[in-house]
Structure 1
């Protein structure tokens, strides 16, 4: 009797080898290429808190009022596909109860529109596609993929520069754990504005080119480690006016110790982060580990069957030897 490999053993061996090759391919090739900032984004985040703002109707600063910040982010798919970058159009409005619901953003306390262009893999700024404003840093609106336990340079658009946010451990938001980063902004002159002299303590002058100053009591961001998505954000903006050359605030335009994501926004961001992170985890961990384990079993089974072979009876010609005299 002689033995030959059965079709089943060859199939098992081939399938096992295929899965063993597929496992590292998924982890080292497919997952990194799946880590791309989306271009078809359409997301709204809402911050609320209490604070002070300058009431143009009353011509004075009012206190202990509800403040709502609404940020809408929409991806420009056409420009993104043409450039190969992530092109996002961002609108941000700061409202009080009088201007909500915001039928016309021009009625808001503050309304800005921006265009952000980033590298889809690294999240670094790319200066093209009518980007506005020109920005810098490592993170804005989101962190890079695979967030590290280190400090990051976060772009603060009001400041017009980056802020160093330090890693402060982990924090659970709606039961979902993320990396926590914090930072502050010291009072900094950011520009000038022509205002009536009475607003900055100079009533004898009809118009004064007042200095605009900005500070931030505290920035707190919690990011999903795998995707870099912000699942919680809180800020403490303070915007004031000073008389030219003065070192004291003369009027408060906006001031709040803390304006943070609403519960609804937290829930939405956690759900999105969990879904996106789960897809990356499946491609980068679950499937490679499963393919590797199953491939090993199938390949081993195939090898064993090949070695053992299938009994095959010898033919008459091979079994009968001629007699020699």
Structure 2
């Protein structure tokens, strides 16, 4: 039993660093079989193509669906995610076809499963850079991160602003803004940009963001809360002022349902990583050390006991005892 306890203790002591330094790092991998929907909701303005004017104080909904391409992920060893994002007023919900939405985009996001850095392969579209977009890296640090803004087509620094609880669950909060920038051109009737005498013009598209706020689970990098303030406008060619507002909202944020779902997933994933990386190694060290000490003590005690029970030379049964050759009770040789 002493050797069994000693062996089990040694096994647990070896298992502890293996869990912490080998198993847990390999468990920190971006999943490839993801299929998830997040919903943002807020109020704002948008250009109504039926009324041919910008309408205000309307409820807006952003629906984002992320699906992992398991086959391409396994083939490439990367996390390959297809991301569908639609923006809708109430009038186009529910949208039977994403093309009916106010705005719809389809992207392919490819990242290194360990670092979360963009990998340019597997028909990635469009080209991405930065450190965070759909999630942060594992073990989020309290520093500024470069967040990829797909509308801007560039990275935006998000500054760490402390901790914040979402639905009772604590995460790290990051914020940033996007200054107005030209993002492209679009052919529109001249009157939309203050040029009524011109039937068609190549108007400039401009984009800004009133504020980006992301709250991430520190261990997994999962975003448990997100809020955006997109503003998209049109300007006349070479113009200095916005003429037509295509989309403008001070704040569109995760719905309560989405927050709860994200928190539940983050809590579950974080608990699993903590179990493998902290709890089990600690228990293995404590229990393994105790068993090793107990087993070792029993081994030493057994040896000492065996040593004390060994007979010395000249010591043995009583010479006159019943097992002595001279004992009167012993059988004596006789003759017939």
> For the superposition of Structure 1 and Structure 2, which TM-score range results when normalised by the shorter chain?
over 0.9
State the distance in 2 between where 1:180 and 1:238 align.
Answer: 22
Residue 227 of structure 2 corresponds to which residue in structure 1? 234
Residue 333 of structure 2 corresponds to which residue in structure 1? none
- Pick the aligned partner of 2:261 from 263, 268, 278: 268
Residue 151 (structure 1) shift: 0.3
- Pick the aligned partner of 2:84 from 85, 91, 97: 91
Once the two structures are superposed, residues 110-154 of structure 1 have per-residue CA deviations (whole angstroms, 9 ceiling, x without a partner) of 000000100000000000000001110011100000000000000
- Pick the aligned partner of 2:135 from 142, 148, 154: 142
Choose 1 or 2 for highest CA Rg. 2
- Whether 1:279 and 2:272 are equivalent positions in the alignment is yes
With over 3 angstroms needed to count, the CA separation of the structure-2 counterparts of 1:43 and 1:317, relative to structure 1, is farther
Residue 21 of structure 1 corresponds to which residue in structure 2? 14
Residue 249 of structure 1 corresponds to which residue in structure 2? 242
State the distance in 1 between where 2:274 and 2:77 align.
Answer: 25
Cα RMSD of the aligned pairs, angstroms, is 1.4
State the distance in 2 between where 1:292 and 1:318 align.
Answer: 49
Q: Which runs of 5+ in 2 are unaligned?
A: 317-336
Larger relative contact order (Cα-Cα within 8 Å, sequence gap ≥ 6): 1
Residue 261 (structure 1) shift: 0.1
State the distance in 1 between where 2:257 and 2:133 align.
Answer: 21
Residue 24 (structure 1) shift: 1.1
Moved over 3 A (4+): 310-320
With over 3 angstroms needed to count, the CA separation of the structure-2 counterparts of 1:319 and 1:216, relative to structure 1, is farther
Q: Which runs of 5+ in 1 are unaligned?
A: 1-7, 321-325
Aligned length: 314
Instruction: Provide the TM-score with structure 2 as the length reference.
Output: 0.91
Residue 314 (structure 1) shift: 3.9
Once the two structures are superposed, residues 152-175 of structure 1 have per-residue CA deviations (whole angstroms, 9 ceiling, x without a partner) of 000000000000000000000000
State the distance in 2 between where 1:190 and 1:319 align.
Answer: 103
Residue 298 of structure 1 corresponds to which residue in structure 2? 291
State the distance in 2 between where 1:105 and 1:286 align.
Answer: 45
